[in-house]
Structure 1
């Protein structure tokens, strides 16, 4: 090694050394992870002739050893089950009472998959038998729609007018019984006199619509009869909301509504509990009465009803009234300029949201449950 450059070149090379004994293998390399080993090493060469010591760079080798007898054994990482067992063992030994109780509870709740294999086929057969008679998604939707607390409807209606047939909201016999009252309304001298002829006299919505119905030279009998029905339904709800009074008192309070109409309301919107002799209005019956009333309001309003005004008249919260209109398939939205023109409303009416009904009827979908 008389040439220093040759030694320098050798230390820069990537080299490997190896050795062995009867029981151990040794291997090493002068290449390290990272940029450098952090140190430099030199050999001191003493030349007797010149009496000089020369420092020559030398490579560094990190040597590892491996026992020959252990080469066939490979260490395996512990499984999840082994980790859980080890953690539980530590918890049982050093854990608190609460931690030990949790460990025992987890052990009790474990499912023995091996034991379940023998009964898996039986369980599957029972599941198949139990699901044979379950309704399809379409059948379930039809059943859910039929159970809605709303008037009978026509899902294939081409116009909003046909969506809820009038005589499905109020039977024909009761509808025809109002003809005489309509003639009396037409013969009244003023709107105030007409309003006093109705059984319910504290409704801004009814007052406005009664004035509008008789504002023209030829008022429509249909509009007047629908207003009479709405007034009768609202009055009936207030009269039986807490308890159904005696028939004579109910007839007096709802005068001049015909008795046949009152009997129909009692039959459809009250029920008698088993073992009881008195009728009552349940929550479901109340909801049904309100949706029947609101369906008539939609027809009177050309299918765009101001829900804020109705909520105020009925002393109900606006969200509940809006929910009932949505159950009829309505959307609660602001009116467009085209709607305002079609309905003959002022531009200021656009500031108030209305319940609008369009076809085909689209009922609200059930809300998905939030994850805990």
Structure 2
């Protein structure tokens, strides 16, 4: 096709529009609703169907700026009734669905546009012949399961049919248990007589904790774990610390310890040796006992514990200390005289050691140093401190100044014991 013919056709389409047509915005009188848009999702009524508009009680058509979504559009044919759905129409309006309506006058060639945009009213229909028939009730859960079972037995696969038969075998017939329910309830009540109450269960749980004896009512951290509940008074009186006062050098002081490979113990021994006052003797005894417990723990790594070798290893402390540690932190098999160390006794001796460490550290212990001394991870050590009721936190500026710590240790976490003590709650598994 040549370019001349194409341009001629183009000019022909351009001149097809009415050159006299003009646009104008129509004005409607106040209070007039004007034309409305409706949408028929299901049934298209005849063009001759008459519709009426009704306003909700809180809406007045005479007010300026009224909202179209508050109108109710109603139509009727001989067989159906059409009513606009208020909720769906409101959702459509809130979604921003609006249309501009324009009417063309073919006589004058004028296209008039309404000044306001219209929203579509979504129509619902009701068949008049079915209005008198009550709606069928929703099926019960039992009816639904029966229908599902029938459908599965008729059209299901072999696997689905096998599952249906297995469910029927495992189903409990409640009606068959009506005669024995009283007997079952009496048996349950009789069996529950020996069960512990919630308070008794809590007391039993606290008693079985692998930690030193504690006080739940203590308001001072120093009273949570009494000293002589960790170190018996007879062993405490037997401890001798005069050789430490006679030692002249730090090396000689460390040589008097039963366990000499702990940086935490050695550092505390030297810092306590330089102090003065009534607490010096007490702190030296605690350090000596912690060192003895560490040496005892190292001797218990084997399957069996030889008592004579243990006395040699703990020669720096009286034999009553070794006997006390054997009786509290070892077990003897039935019909045997040999001492054995179990996972429970190993945990118990660590909690007793850490309770004494808290007393020397004013109840804020650096767990990293202890983890290095015991060749354990910091996470494991923190978990044991948590079982004592401690919280692993960073110290505030006020607490650091109270303990004499520098600002360089602001990022270090410590095991802090507070009173009254609160033990961690057991974790619940996900269902």
Q: Normalising to structure 1: TM-score of the pair?
A: 0.78
Could you tell me which residue of structure 1 aligns to residue 162 of structure 2?
A: 101
Could you tell me which residue of structure 2 aligns to residue 92 of structure 1?
A: 153
Instruction: Using the TM superposition, give the Cα deviation of residue 187 of structure 1 relative to its aligned residue in structure 2, in angstroms.
Output: 0.9
- The gaps in structure 1 that reach 5 residues or longer are 1-9, 15-26, 36-61
Distance 2:399 2:229 in 1: 27
1:33 counterpart SS class: strand
Cα distance, 1:252–1:86 mapped onto 2, change above 3 Å: same
Structure 2 residue corresponding to 1:351, chosen from 397, 408, 411: 411
Could you tell me which residue of structure 2 aligns to residue 29 of structure 1?
A: 78
Residue 363 of structure 2 corresponds to residue 314 of structure 1: no
Is this contact kept in 2: 1:241–1:281, CA < 8 A? yes
Distance 2:136 2:424 in 1: 61
Residue 186 of structure 2 corresponds to residue 125 of structure 1: yes
Structure 1 residue corresponding to 2:221, chosen from 142, 145, 160: 160
1:358 counterpart SS class: coil
Could you tell me which residue of structure 2 aligns to residue 148 of structure 1?
A: 209
Could you tell me which residue of structure 2 aligns to residue 12 of structure 1?
A: 50
Q: Which moved more, 1:340-349 or 1:77-86?
A: 77-86
* 1:332-371 superposed matches below 5 A: 332-371=392-431
Cα deviations by residue, 1:183-209 (Å, 9 ceiling, x for unpaired): 001111111211121111111111111
Instruction: Using the TM superposition, give the Cα deviation of residue 63 of structure 1 relative to its aligned residue in structure 2, in angstroms.
Output: 8.9
- The gaps in structure 2 that reach 5 residues or longer are 1-47, 53-75, 85-125
Structure 1 residue corresponding to 2:330, chosen from 251, 255, 270: 270
Could you tell me which residue of structure 2 aligns to residue 324 of structure 1?
A: 384
Distance 1:108 1:346 in 2: 72
Instruction: Using the TM superposition, give the Cα deviation of residue 120 of structure 1 relative to its aligned residue in structure 2, in angstroms.
Output: 1.8
Could you tell me which residue of structure 2 aligns to residue 293 of structure 1?
A: 353
Instruction: Using the TM superposition, give the Cα deviation of residue 12 of structure 1 relative to its aligned residue in structure 2, in angstroms.
Output: 3.2
Instruction: Using the TM superposition, give the Cα deviation of residue 321 of structure 1 relative to its aligned residue in structure 2, in angstroms.
Output: 1.2
Cα distance, 1:79–1:258 mapped onto 2, change above 3 Å: same
Could you tell me which residue of structure 1 aligns to residue 245 of structure 2?
A: 186
Could you tell me which residue of structure 1 aligns to residue 117 of structure 2?
A: none
Instruction: Using the TM superposition, give the Cα deviation of residue 292 of structure 1 relative to its aligned residue in structure 2, in angstroms.
Output: 0.7
Cα distance, 1:366–1:208 mapped onto 2, change above 3 Å: same
Distance 2:269 2:194 in 1: 53
Distance 2:339 2:178 in 1: 57
Distance 1:244 1:170 in 2: 24
Distance 1:279 1:122 in 2: 51
Structure 1 residue corresponding to 2:230, chosen from 169, 194, 199: 169
Structure 1 residue corresponding to 2:308, chosen from 248, 254, 265: 248
Structure 2 residue corresponding to 1:213, chosen from 272, 289, 300: 272
Could you tell me which residue of structure 1 aligns to residue 286 of structure 2?
A: 226
2:415 counterpart SS class: strand
Instruction: Using the TM superposition, give the Cα deviation of residue 231 of structure 1 relative to its aligned residue in structure 2, in angstroms.
Output: 0.6
Could you tell me which residue of structure 2 aligns to residue 20 of structure 1?
A: none
Distance 2:304 2:187 in 1: 50
Q: Normalising to structure 2: TM-score of the pair?
A: 0.68
Distance 1:145 1:206 in 2: 30
Is this contact kept in 1: 2:388–2:423, CA < 8 A? yes
RMSD: 2.7
2:405 counterpart SS class: coil
Is this contact kept in 2: 1:335–1:354, CA < 8 A? yes
Instruction: Using the TM superposition, give the Cα deviation of residue 31 of structure 1 relative to its aligned residue in structure 2, in angstroms.
Output: 5.4
Instruction: Using the TM superposition, give the Cα deviation of residue 284 of structure 1 relative to its aligned residue in structure 2, in angstroms.
Output: 1.0
Instruction: Using the TM superposition, give the Cα deviation of residue 217 of structure 1 relative to its aligned residue in structure 2, in angstroms.
Output: 4.7
Residue 258 of structure 2 corresponds to residue 199 of structure 1: yes
Could you tell me which residue of structure 1 aligns to residue 321 of structure 2?
A: 261
Cα deviations by residue, 1:27-84 (Å, 9 ceiling, x for unpaired): 962655378xxxxxxxxxxxxxxxxxxxxxxxxxx99768xxxx99985654433332
1:333 counterpart SS class: strand
